[in-house]
């Protein structure tokens, strides 16, 4: 049946009775294709019926905005991208997130949580101002209900025709946290869902009267849910509330969406309960591990930076250090689950609320506890003002642990960690360290506890296993009289610099372990040698490490021959990390050619 869907109109031509079979086929395709391509699996398995029902009921001119967007795979399959789905997250292939450049069916680019209602409200207001007529639907996960931005948007939706579908699966990447999600859990089906199934099975076994009785009761239930049910959680936002709906029952979803589409002219929130990972037993049992799966055949490093972070923080607590661990909904991914398991009183997961996480940490520091804030590089940028205003101005001892820095590969332009060196280096009082080895990362974490200022430690998912430690200085290879210095930031570029430097008798590879402060002793050595320099960073060039080095030489009056390698004013699309590195000249052949040119 899925093979016959060549357009949304083909979907609409199906009978409602055919939709469960279509959903089953889509679920099979997701499991098969994503297991090969890699990507977000559990979240997409949970929204199959929801996505099919949305496209079945609403028109092609209507606009669906997906919060985060990692659950948009079914949407992409239904909007003419299913035949090429194995190219998902590959270079020149389908993006793993909504992308307006890829298809007009994607109403808004999304990659981070909490943005959908704001974007959808803007689209709806633009529609009204232009006198146009279409529906706008924001699909929001309950994890995004921990985002302050979600509530800022809800505060402004009054008197706007807008549908908010609350996809409630009691999960972000991991388990949801906080009072908001506790309130949400009170609204869920709970025992009602189990009792409903028992009643259904009982009635359908009763001869003659059982089936019509069940249909009548279901009709009564639907009519009641479509009434103006008061709900204290959403009353203050003046939203019409419809729920709770079984989000994995496609026929019910079609019924409710049809009624809402034809009869609602004010902001409406429909709460649906879905099961993350539905239809695939391993994902149902462990949705966090199957939130994102690796590409088939991908090599796996047995050690990740997150594991080193967790071990280092647990060791500090075992030693009696007065520290705390703070994360924003990603305890396992950042390594802080290790702290949570052993020292739960010193662990704080604030939900998808990066801004709050940083200012909360500032309060901890002001109160005498040294907080470690572990957040992915691309997510920490959401809290730039809090870092600058609440931490750095007061010069508070907060240590930021920036995982997934640099190129991140297949997640693409919304997730690249390519801006942190620039946005952090410009903040007074804040220092930025860049370990290349696991040992350096561990030592930097331990060292930072004794510092009385804010510190950022920036690293990629995998580092080098070398035993080189951290002493505050950059490490360089031993060369008698270098004519070219390769200044490399991070593990991948340090490895590359060393490999290329060995091809020449007069080239030195430098492992840059701090971007701010610079190692002025080594830079002065370069001045004394009158050597050429290549700076290498997985970061945008504007405001980055290379510009800092070049500026230092200018201040010294040194007319250095400097080549800055990095990302030049573009967003980097999805591809493998290796392909992204090569795109910007970070491969052996390209770098070798750069060194040869400087030696001429």
In a domain, 121, yes or no: yes
* Distance between CA atoms of residues 83 and 8, nearest Å: 14
The encoded tokens of residue 411 equal 């997640």
* Distance between CA atoms of residues 227 and 236, nearest Å: 18
Same domain assignment for residues 122 and 256? yes
In a domain, 292, yes or no: no
Give me the active site residues, please.
276, 354, 382
Per DSSP, the residues of 296-342 read TT----S--HHHHHHHHHHHHHHTT--EEEEESS-HHHHTTHHHHHH
Same domain assignment for residues 275 and 313? no
Same domain assignment for residues 324 and 422? yes
Same domain assignment for residues 8 and 118? yes
State the residue range of the domain holding 502: 475-599
* Distance between CA atoms of residues 61 and 135, nearest Å: 8
Among the listed residues 105, 137, 139, the one whose alpha carbon sits nearest the alpha carbon of residue 124: 137
Q: Which residues of the chain have pLDDT under 50?
A: 172, 180-193, 228
Residue 452, SS3 per DSSP: coil
Number of domains in the chain: 3
Same domain assignment for residues 353 and 500? no
Same domain assignment for residues 309 and 229? no
Among the listed residues 156, 166, 164, 165, the one whose alpha carbon sits nearest the alpha carbon of residue 125: 156
Same domain assignment for residues 217 and 93? yes
In a domain, 23, yes or no: yes
Strand partners, 564: 535
What CATH number has the domain bearing residue 573? 3.40.50.920
In a domain, 299, yes or no: no
Same domain assignment for residues 247 and 321? no
Give the DSSP H/E element, type plus range, for residue 565: strand 562-567
Same domain assignment for residues 252 and 200? yes
Same domain assignment for residues 162 and 233? yes
- Which of 285, 320, 354 terminates a domain? The answer is 285
Q: Which residue has the tokens 């999600």?
A: 181
Instruction: For the sheet with 163-168, list strands across it.
Output: 63-66, 136-141, 163-168, 268-273, 240-246
- Which of 429, 458, 487 terminates a domain? The answer is 458
In a domain, 107, yes or no: yes
Q: Which residue has the tokens 């008698």?
A: 480
What CATH number has the domain bearing residue 444? 3.40.50.970
pLDDT of 197 reads 60
- Which of 424, 458, 492 terminates a domain? The answer is 458
Per DSSP, the residues of 364-422 read HHHTT-EEEEEEEHHHHGGGHHHIIIIIITTT---EEEEES-B--GGGGGGT-B-SHHH
Same domain assignment for residues 112 and 19? yes
In a domain, 84, yes or no: yes
* Distance between CA atoms of residues 308 and 237, nearest Å: 44
Total-model pTM: 0.87
Give the DSSP H/E element, type plus range, for residue 264: none
Residue 89, SS3 per DSSP: coil
Same domain assignment for residues 450 and 558? no
CA-angle at 331, arms to 298 and 490, nearest 5°: 55
pLDDT of 441 reads 98
In a domain, 211, yes or no: yes
In a domain, 296, yes or no: no
């Amino acid at each position: 049946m899925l093979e016959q869907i060549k357009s949304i109109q083909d979907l609409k031509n199906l009978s409602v009775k055919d939709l469960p079979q279509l959903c089953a086929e889509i679920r099979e395709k997701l499991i098969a294709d994503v297991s090969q391509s890699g990507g977000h699996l559990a979240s997409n398995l949970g929204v199959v019926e929801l996505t099919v029902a949305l496209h079945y009921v609403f028109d092609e001119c209507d606009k669906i905005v997906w919060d985060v967007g990692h659950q948009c795979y079914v949407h992409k399959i239904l909007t003419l991208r299913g035949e090429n789905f194995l190219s998902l997250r590959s270079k020149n292939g389908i993006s793993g997130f909504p992308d307006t450049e890829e298809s007009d069916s994607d109403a808004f680019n999304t990659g981070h949580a909490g943005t959908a209602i704001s974007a959808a409200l803007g689209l709806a207001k633009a529609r009204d101002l232009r006198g146009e007529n279409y529906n706008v639907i924001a699909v929001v996960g309950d994890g995004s209900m921990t985002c302050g931005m979600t509530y800022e948007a809800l505060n402004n939706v009054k008197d706007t025709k807008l549908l908010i579908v609350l996809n409630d699966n009691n999960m972000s990447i991991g388990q949801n946290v906080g009072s908001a999600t506790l309130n949400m859990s009170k609204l869920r089906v709970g025992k009602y869902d189990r009792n409903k199934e028992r009643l259904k099975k009982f009635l359908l076994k009763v001869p003659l009267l059982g089936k019509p009785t069940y249909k009548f009761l279901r009709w009564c239930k639907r009519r009641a849910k479509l009434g103006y049910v008061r709900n204290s959680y959403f009353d203050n936002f003046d939203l019409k509330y419809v729920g709770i709906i079984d989000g994995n029952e496609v026929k019910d979803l079609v019924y409710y969406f049809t009624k809402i589409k034809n009869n609602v002219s004010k902001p409406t929130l429909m709460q649906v309960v879905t099961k993350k990972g539905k239809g695939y037993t391993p994902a149902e049992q462990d949705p966090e591990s199957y939130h994102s799966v690796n590409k088939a055949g991908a090599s796996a490093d047995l050690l990740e930076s997150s594991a080193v972070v967790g071990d280092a923080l647990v060791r500090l607590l075992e030693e009696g250090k007065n520290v705390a661990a703070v994360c924003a909904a990603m305890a396992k991914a950042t390594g802080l689950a290790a702290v949570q398991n052993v020292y739960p009183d010193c662990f704080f997961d604030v939900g998808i609320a990066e801004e709050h996480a940083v200012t909360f940490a500032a309060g901890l520091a002001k109160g005498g506890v040294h907080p470690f804030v572990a957040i992915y590089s691309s997510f920490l940028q959401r809290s730039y003002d809090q870092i600058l205003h609440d931490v750095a101005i007061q010069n508070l001892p907060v240590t930021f642990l920036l995982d997934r820095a640099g190129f991140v590969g297949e997640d693409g332009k919304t997730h690249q960690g390519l801006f942190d060196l620039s946005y952090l280096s410009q903040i007074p009082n804040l220092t930025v360290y860049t370990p290349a080895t696991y040992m350096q990362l561990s030592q930097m974490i331990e060292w930072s506890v004794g510092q009385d200022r804010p510190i950022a430690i920036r690293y990629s998912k995998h580092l080098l296993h070398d035993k080189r430690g951290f002493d505050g200085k950059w490490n360089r290879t031993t060369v008698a009289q270098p004519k070219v210095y390769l200044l490399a930031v991070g593990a991948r570029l340090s490895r590359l610099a060393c490999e290329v430097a060995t091809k020449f008798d007069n080239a030195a590879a430098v492992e840059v372990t701090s971007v701010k402060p610079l190692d002025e002793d080594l830079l002065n050595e370069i001045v004394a040698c009158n050597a050429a320099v290549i700076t290498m960073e997985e970061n945008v060039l504007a405001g980055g490490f290379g510009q800092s080095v070049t500026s230092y030489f200018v201040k010294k009056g040194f007319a250095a021959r400097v080549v800055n390698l990095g990302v030049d004013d573009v967003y980097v699309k999805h591809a493998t990390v290796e392909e992204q590195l090569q795109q910007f000249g970070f491969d052996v052949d390209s770098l070798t050619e750069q060194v040869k040119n400087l030696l001429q």
